[in-house]
Chains A and B, each alone.
Chain A
């Protein structure tokens, strides 16, 4: 029999999110950087700020390596946290077998909005293109050193006017492959931040935006 505790179940809920631990090194640090070049290739602005705003979808993605994709060794259904938060199916039907993988992308925007962990998109995404107010997105680059992952993208402003970037998001796409060549796609906003000062990409200039996710280990 469990006798009355020094700590009640309600207290345990509070204990698992402690707010009074010593101010140690954080587990995770994230930064956003932007380097802006003019049309002659001169570096004209460097901006760096802490990232503050991961979403619940990033947290759910982290859950996949931690809890897996099945409820158990003999339960052939996805964990409920994945179906509830990410909207993934509990299972799929067809021949052969199924697997899961994911990719990331950087999206820039020209708006602002209040952050919420359930946010699903930027306020005013800057489209990929050469039209007014658009930026040409280059290829994404991903690398890692130890427990730090770097994601960067180069954008070019081919228009005749400067384009102001005020928000940045890490976009995630989860793929489930099954039945030989069938693929289901699920897209999410993994992080959302507004720049503390706008980043202006000059006409015919370019910029490199980088997100750094550092698990300090």
Chain B
């Protein structure tokens, strides 16, 4: 029996929790944006802290125990607004994130770092960019390069990080302005019992509104780096 409530105890953060000199965040994410002109010269470097995993990311991180104990599923929402009740399980008929296989493949992969010209106030609930900039050379468009993914986590002392990046070229004939950035992953959920699967499509897992807009001149390019680091 628990006889005494927690209200009788001083639950303020104990002094020893503030370990002066080491009271640093466990994890940080950074955005670095490098803008080049038509001659390849760097004309702007923009850096800011990234704040915004989306609700989709949180749901995908949840461990099996959450689903087993609560019996709940987690509602994911793709960029088109379609929902999916995600509920992984140790069960051949449970649909979980697909994995490379010899017999059948339903790739789940990073599609792109997507850029946009809008913004939205609640990144957590965002499931798409407010105003995605299309891939192309038309007015207001940028040519999307391929996302670059590292082959390892870099460890330096107690710090470790990985960075993904992508370059965009502006052949639109005019300046293109970026105000929002997000990471889009393509997800498919498959069973191990048979080859059945659910093709969920593109999912926004990370989203940031830039602290100041980025202008990319015609003929220029911009490279966006997302860095995820622990014990910074």
List A residues at the B interface (Cβ < 8 Å): 1-7, 12, 15-19, 21, 24-30, 35, 37, 40-43, 46-56, 58-81, 84-85, 90-105, 115-118, 139-144, 146-147, 149, 151, 172, 175-183, 191, 196-197, 215-217
15 inter-chain pairs at a CB distance below 8 angstroms, sorted by A residue, are A15-B225, A16-B227, A24-B51, A42-B3, A59-B229, A67-B110, A67-B185, A69-B109, A98-B101, A99-B98, A101-B90, A103-B63, A117-B230, A142-B70, A217-B51
Say whether A46 contacts B11, CB under 8 Å: yes
Pick from A78, A80, A99, A146: contact of B191, CB under 8 Å:
A99
Distance to closest chain A CB from B43 (angstroms): 8
Which of the residues B32, B99, B206, B229 comes within 8 Å of A69, measured between beta carbons? B99
Stretch at the interface among B23-31, B77-85, B135-143, B172-180: B23-31
- Please give the residue numbers on chain B whose beta carbons come within 8 Å of chain A beta carbons, in ascending order: 1-6, 8-11, 13-14, 16-17, 19, 22-30, 32, 34, 36, 39-43, 45, 47-53, 55-58, 60-66, 69-70, 88-90, 92, 94-110, 123-124, 149-153, 155, 158-164, 183, 185-187, 189-195, 197, 205-206, 225, 227-232
Residues in A whose Cβ lies below 8 Å from that of B104 = 96-97
Asked if residues B26 and A30 are in contact (CB atoms below 8 Å), the reply is: yes
Q: In the docked arrangement, what's the CA distance between A151 and B70, Å?
A: 13
Q: Which of A15, A60, A181 contacts B192 (CB 8 A)?
A: A181
B54 nearest CB across to chain A (Å): 8
Distance (Å) between the CB of A155 and the closest chain B CB? 15
Contact A217–B92 (Cβ < 8 Å) = no
Given contacts A81-B152, A99-B191, contact A66 B101 (CB under 8 A): no
Given contacts A27-B50, A147-B58, A178-B192, whether A17 and B25 have CB atoms under 8 Å apart is no
A27-B29, A63-B162, A144-B58 given; A68·B187 CB < 8 A: yes
Q: How far is the CB of A209 from chain B (nearest CB, A)?
A: 15
Given A28-B26, A101-B88, A142-B194 contact (CB < 8 Å):
no
Known pairs A70-B108, A196-B14, A215-B57. 9 more at Cβ < 8 A?
A12-B225, A17-B30, A19-B232, A43-B2, A49-B14, A50-B26, A55-B230, A104-B65, A147-B58
Cα–Cα distance between A179 and B193 once the two chains are bound (Å) = 7
Q: Does A92 lie within 8 Å of B101, measured CB to CB?
A: yes
Contacting pair A73 B186 (CB below 8 A): yes
Residues of B within 8 A of A98 (CB): 98-101, 190, 192
Top 8 nearest A-B pairs (CB, nearest first) are A2-B40, A26-B25, A28-B27, A99-B96, A91-B100, A103-B64, A70-B107, A65-B60
